Amino acid sequence: MKQQKNHTKILITGAGGFIGGHLVKYLKKQGYSKIRAVDIKSPNKWHQLDDEVENISLDLSEKNNCYQAVDGIDEVYNLASDMGGMGFIENNKALCMLNVLINTHLLMASKQEKVKRYFFSSSACVYAANKQTNSDNNGLKESDAYPAMPEDGYGWEKLFSERMCRHFREDFGLTTRVARFHNVYGAHGAYRGGREKAPAALTRKIIEAQLSKNHEVEIWGDGKQTRSFTYIDDCIKGIDLIMHSNIEEPINLGSEEMVTINRLVDIIEKIADVKLKRNYNLDAPKGVRGRSSDNTLIKKYLGWEPNTSLEVGMEKLYSWIYKEIENTSS
């Protein structure tokens, strides 16, 4: 198997992003030595950069760039996407929809290059809105994506791209695998600037309140909306398992540990050893009322599910962001 990995040529798109950067390092540790990492940003702006792999800056919304990226590749991990947290998604619907160009052109190039396996990173944003109106959500099953009523913009693009993967598999024999990510968090991601997600955003706000001794924090919504959050190491392990499985349909890759946003703040406050006044911004983007992952299928197929507790994962995220803020302010 080690020898096979040494000969497998890997393409990771979105490699300059949060999940992509972690995937590069993971696959290297697994024994893959021929990795091409691609991102639209110049490498000096990537979240993580590994000089031992082939790093290229390409705009993959352009068809010719996708053919260049896929040339000679055996396995494609498509993580490229113009996206961010709920604040970005709700205010940039057209940009999110344009991500369809990336997956479409990569599929076309993969078909021509006879790629052996193709992974697409989808999202829990594909799930029907009427299944997420209650904070006591019992977990979203894969079948809850239909009848279609996904998140406007970003969710529609992900759902359409899932179908593209399915039809390239059915019509052209390209082996495609699709995972629906549920709120992935961890170190080496965005924690300020508008693209950060709730765990990183709230951690940053609480650290800033802690350091400034202005013991207040703004929370988007009323704090009673619910989510489940997936630690990055679990997400990366799940990508590997799903990519090399026989699972043909889209499948959840997320935690079943659902918490309110207030509970998430409780956890961060405990880590920081502070207690803050909570100011609720009811006009801010807040997404659906309740969302978490139902892991029945992934446990059935793989005998595995993401299992890092939120307390453990958030402690690691807090430590990383605290050091980042210290370094930037010194």
Cβ pair 254, 127 in contact under 8 A: no
Give the pairing type, strands 258-260 and 226-228: antiparallel
String of DSSP letters for 226-238:
EEE-EEHHHHHHH
Distance CA 55, CA 182 (A): 28
Q: Say what the alpha-carbon torsion angle 104, 94, 19, 311 is, to the nearest 10 degrees.
A: -140
Strands (E), the chain: 9-13, 34-39, 54-57, 75-78, 117-123, 176-181, 184-185, 216-220, 226-228, 230-231, 251-253, 258-260, 277-281
Distance of CA 201 to the CA centre of its chain: 15
Q: What residues are paired with 119 via a beta bridge? A: 77, 177
Which of 32, 118, 154, 191 is catalytic? The answer is 154
Does residue 147 have a cis bond before it (omega within 30 degrees)?
yes
Do 285 and 91 contact (CB within 8 A), yes or no? yes
Distance between CA atoms of 123 and 120, rounded to whole angstroms?
10
Alpha-carbon Rg for the chain in angstroms: 19
Give CA–CA dist 219/200, Å, rounded.
13
Q: Quick one: how far is CA 9 from the chain centroid?
A: 23
Please list the helix, strand and coil fractions of the chain in percent, rounded to the nearest 5, in that order. Answer: 45, 20, 40
Q: How far apart are CA 257 and CA 314, in angstroms?
A: 13
Cα 113 to Cα 107: distance, rounded to the nearest angstrom: 10
Active site residue 26: no
Q: Which residues are catalytic?
A: 154
